[in-house]
Amino acid sequence: MHDLLPEDEALWRFVRDTCERVAGLFDYRMISTPMVEDASVFLRTVGDESDIVSKEMYVFEDRGKERLALRPEGTAGVCRAYIEHGMGSWPQPVRLYYFGPMFRYDRPQAGRYRQLTQFGVECIGDASAAADVEVIELQRTVYEELGLNDITLRINSIGTAATRRRYLDALTEHLLPHVPTLSHDSQRRFETNVLRVLDSKEDAGHPAVQGAPSILDFLDEGDATHFAEVRGLLDRLGVAYEVDPRIVRGLDYYARTVWEFEPADGGGQSTVGAGGRYDGLIELLGGPHTPGVGFATGIERIVLNLREQSAPTAAASPDLFIAPLGEAGPAAAMRLAREVRSGGLAVRLGMPGRGLRAQFRSAETAGARFIAIVGDTEAERGTAQVKALGLDGAEQQEVVMQDVALVVMPR
Ligand code: ATP
Ligand code: MG
C-alpha cells in the first residue's frame, strides 16, 4: 500500500477527471459503495478458485463476530447495491460507474499493489451485444482521451454455464496427459477449476496450454450469435481487436463476452483493464435474474503507462504570494488572501517575521506569478505593493486591496 504525494496529484487528477468525464459522456452515473462488505458478497460471486478469493482477500471478523472483507473488486458490491435499492424497478439498463480503492493480498511489485484504485462501469439490465460494445467503447474512449498509445483489445466468449461444462470435459481430457509437466499452481487449478489453467501466468507459453481446444468451438447457438454480434458491431465502429480464445478472466461470475486491454510492451503486470458480461451474478447474490456487463481499469497501471510515455506534468503553483511585513502586516495579509481567494485565485501566505529578501525567495520557489507585499504602511492605507514575478523589470505598483485580484487575474 502506498502514499500519493503532492507531486502525483496533477496526473492522478487528470486521470480521474478524464474517467469521470467520459463516463458522463456515455450517461453513466456515479455510485459509491462501502470499502467493507459482508465477506459472502465476494465469496458467493467471485469464485473459490479465483486468485482473489483463494489467496488475495483481506477477511476479518468484527467485534460483532460478522465476517467482513475489504472489497477486492467493485462489481459484486455494485450488484449488491442494485438489489438492495430496488434498481430493478428503475428504467433499464442502469448505467453506473465507480472510482475508488480495492484491496488484494497480491505479491507487491511495479504495477501490483495491495491497495489499488479502480475505475469501473456497470451496465445492468441489458442482455444485448450492443451493451457489451457500449461498455467496450466507453473503456476505449477513456484510454484514447488519456492519450494512452498502442493498446490492444483482446476479446473472447466463454459462453454460458452449459457451454463451459461441455468445454471443461474436453479441456480436462486434453490436459490430463500433461499435468505432471504443468506448474504447481496449474496442477492445483486442474483439480479444482480446470478452466483457470488457461489463465495461469506461469504456464501461458506451455505447449499443452497453447494447443488447448478453443472454447469458441463449444459455444451453443445463442452464445455464438451473441459473440458474432459483438464482433460485427466492433467492426462497424472501426474498433480494432483480436479474438483470443485463451482469455477466461479470473472471476467465476463471467459469462459470454470477456475482454482485456493490454499495452504494447507486454509483461506480467501489463493488463490495464478488463471486463466482461456477468448475467448470473445478481441471481447469485439473491436477486432476480438480471443481465449485466462492465469493466474495471487499474489507475496505478494507467499512471505507470502515462509516466513511461511522457514527461511529468508541472506541479500546480499559486497565483499570488503575499509577504506580510511589520506589526500590522500579518492580519492585513490574511484579509487580502481572503479577498483574492474569493475571486478563485490560489494564494500562498508568507511566514511573518521574515525579511523582504527571504519573502521574495519563498515566492519564487513557490512558483507564484505575483507577489503582494503588505507592511504597516500598506495595512493602514488598505493597499498592497504588487509585482509580477519572473518578468525582468516588472514594475511594482501600489494597489488597493479590493483590486489586487484584478491585477493578478490571468488575462
Ligand atoms: P492480473 O491478471 O494482473 O492479476 P486481474 O485479472 O487480477 O489482473 P482484475 O480483477 O480484472 O485484474 O482487475 C482489473 C484491473 O485492475 C487490472 O487490469 C489491473 O489494471 C488492476 N489491478 C488488478 N490487481 C491489481 C493490483 N494488485 N495492483 C494494481 N492494479 C491491479
Ligand atoms: Mg490478479
Claim to verify: residue 298 and residue 340 sit in the same structural domain: no
Claim to verify: residue 130 and residue 250 sit in the same structural domain: yes
Ligand located closest to 298 CA: 1
- Read off the pLDDT of each residue in 375-398 and give the average, rounded to a whole number: 92
Model pLDDT, residue 311: 64
- Read off the pLDDT of each residue in 314-339 and give the average, rounded to a whole number: 93
Which atom of ligand 1 is nearest the CA belonging to 106?
Answer: 27
Q: Among 113, 301, 303, 305, which residue has the most ligand 1 atoms within 8 Å of its CB, making it the best to mutate?
A: 301
Q: How many structural domains is the chain composed of?
A: 2
Ligand 1 and 116: CB distance under 6 A = yes
- Domain end, chosen from 248, 282, 308, is at 308
Q: Count helices and strands (H / E) in the chain.
A: 15, 16
Contact 153, 237 (CB under 8 A): no
Q: Residue 135 Cα, ligand 1 centroid: separation in angstroms?
A: 18
Claim to verify: residue 53 and residue 74 sit in the same structural domain: yes
- β-pairing verdict for 347-349 and 320-324: parallel
Count Cα neighbours of 411 within 13 Å in the Cβ-side half-sphere.
1
- Domain end, chosen from 250, 274, 308, is at 308
Model pLDDT, residue 194: 87
Ligand 1 and 57: CB distance under 6 A = no
176 lies in some domain = no
202 lies in some domain = no
Q: Residue 271 Cα, ligand 2 centroid: separation in angstroms?
A: 10
Claim to verify: residue 101 and residue 26 sit in the same structural domain: yes
Model pLDDT, residue 165: 86
* CATH code for the domain of 333: 3.40.50.800
Ligand located closest to 249 CA: 1
- In angstroms, the CA 171 to CA 159 distance is 15
- In angstroms, the CA 238 to CA 136 distance is 12
Q: How confident is the model at residue 266 (pLDDT cuts 50, 70, 90)?
A: low
Claim to verify: residue 348 and residue 304 sit in the same structural domain: no
Ligand 1 and 44: CB distance under 6 A = no
Claim to verify: residue 273 and residue 226 sit in the same structural domain: yes
Q: Residue 129 Cα, ligand 2 centroid: separation in angstroms?
A: 27
213 lies in some domain = no
Claim to verify: residue 355 and residue 265 sit in the same structural domain: no
Q: Tell whether the model's pLDDT for residue 314 goes beyond 70.
A: no
Claim to verify: residue 225 and residue 277 sit in the same structural domain: yes
Claim to verify: residue 141 and residue 289 sit in the same structural domain: yes
Summarize pLDDT for 197-216 with one digit per residue, the tens: 988 888 988 999 999 999 99
Claim to verify: residue 391 and residue 257 sit in the same structural domain: no
Q: In what order do the strands lie in the sheet with 255-263?
A: 29-30, 94-103, 115-124, 292-298, 273-277, 255-263, 151-157, 242-243
Which atom of ligand 1 is nearest the CA belonging to 250?
Answer: 6
- Domain end, chosen from 265, 280, 308, is at 308
385 lies in some domain = yes
Ligand 1 and 88: CB distance under 6 A = no
Ligand 1 atom 17: residue of nearest CA: 273
290 lies in some domain = yes
Ligand located closest to 271 CA: 1
Claim to verify: residue 73 and residue 110 sit in the same structural domain: yes
CB contact set of 214 (below 8 Å; sequence gap of 6+): 245
Ligand 1 atom 7: residue of nearest CA: 250
Range of the domain at 361: 320-408
173 lies in some domain = no
Ligand 1 atom 9: residue of nearest CA: 274
* CATH code for the domain of 35: 3.30.930.10
Q: Tell whether the model's pLDDT for residue 269 goes beyond 80.
A: no
